[in-house]
Amino acid sequence: MMKKLTTISCVLLLLSACSGKPQIQTYHAKDDKQEIETFKNAFKDSENLDEASGVFFDHQLVVSLQVKPFSKLRKEKITKSFEKEMKTLFPDHEVFVSSDLKITWELNKIIEKKPNEDELKKDLDEIQSLAKEET
């Protein structure tokens, strides 16, 4: 009886941890509501993501993804798939997509801070250099 109860509890916990929509955060320097909505719609039904963050600035789009634990083995494939989708949705933007945690941290700092254009350009340049670093 106890073994059965433990098994059921584990299954329920596992299912509840794997469900839910990804948390989506954005920052747009020009506050273009249509681009923000398009971005959010691209990620809202994804079952593989925990979090997606995006920053729009001067025809650049920098995106960070956090993949759910059970999808970690396919992280690269998922990242490339979303990169292709972002390039299709935003053809006039230079798109950069990463699933690196340090990129996510930096993008979330930008989203919270909502910097002016000069600071944003500097921050995005720093993120691009972080992405080129080898860990």
Query: What is the assigned CATH class of domain 21-132?
Result: alpha beta
pLDDT tens-digit series, residues 40-94: 988 888 888 888 899 898 888 899 988 888 777 888 888 898 899 989 998 999 9
pLDDT tens-digit series, residues 4-14: 645 665 454 45
What is the per-residue DSSP string for 45-110? T-SSEEEEEEEEETTEEEEEEEE-GGGGGGHHHHHHHHHHHHHHH-TTSEEEEE--HHHHHHHHHH
The domains of the chain are located at 21-132
pTM over 0.85: no
